[in-house]
Structure 1
Amino acid sequence: NEWQEDWVAFYARQRIQPQMDMVEQGSGDREARELWSALQLKIPDLFRDLDIVPALLHGDLWGGNVAEDSSGPIIFDPASFYGHSEYELAIAGMFGGFSPSFYSAYHRAVPRAPGFEARQQLYQLFHYLNHWNHFGSGYRGSSLSIMRNLTQ
């Protein structure tokens, strides 16, 4: 990753753009390219008036990377970096999420800011694109759907 002045630039340039570059190299998907061009212009609006305090993130937090034993909860398979705390919840939402009590406790500690749902889609976009690049075009539809939703 290259240094970026803010989270919005980092996320667009260091997370989404490399995934889009791989989509382009792998499939040359014109619709994906056009949607990404439009979405790049809208991303800053999703963060308007939002004060992002960097948080250390697990980076791949979902039910398959969480367990519990007699000593308490265990998380594994991290892809850690510093970023926006909301990012942490995106992949969990793609794969069944966590219990309602988890989300209640989380949002007591980190309250939802306006635009949370749209940013969750943007954060899920990274994971859908990553899955498209690793596991094939079965993730294309979800990737394009998110981009369509966010560019409307």
Structure 2
Amino acid sequence: MSDTAEAVVRDYYAALRRGDPLSPYFLESESTVKFGISEALFGFDEVCEALHEQTETTGDWTVESSRLVVADRGANATFADDVRMAWTDTTSDEEYDFETRWSGTLVRRDDADGSTPVTTGESKTAAATTGEAGDDDRPDWLFASMHVSAPHDL
């Protein structure tokens, strides 16, 4: 998998377009959070379950990044982007299309002294929904937080 935070963000977008499992991109921690256009998810298990359901019930994804900015700060990185997202709900055939803003924090999987700051085995939920994911299947950077919002005119 990719070795820079920017490459991991871009890989995540590509995985979303392909319909690949997305939970391997997230830090396995109770402190992991993901805010979507219509959801607030707290803890890796909740994030994992929601991403699995999203993958199972959506398709035909468009993810167009137009302003990705990534800052590598050693063991942590931040990102922000303007992204056009469109998809089809496969259960209702309803199509969605949003101009969105993304931001978040990534953590390096292995810190500078070689220890691993994250659990490398999947949680019970992740193993049930995505299969076994070993260290080599996870990116070098993991999302600790992700925020996706759709702006509204005031």
Instruction: Give the TM-score taking structure 1 as reference length.
Output: 0.29
Compare the two structures and name the one with the higher helix fraction. Answer: 1
Instruction: Give the TM-score taking structure 2 as reference length.
Output: 0.29
Compare the two structures and name the one with the higher strand fraction. Answer: 2
Which of structures 1 and 2 has the bigger CA Rg?
Answer: 1
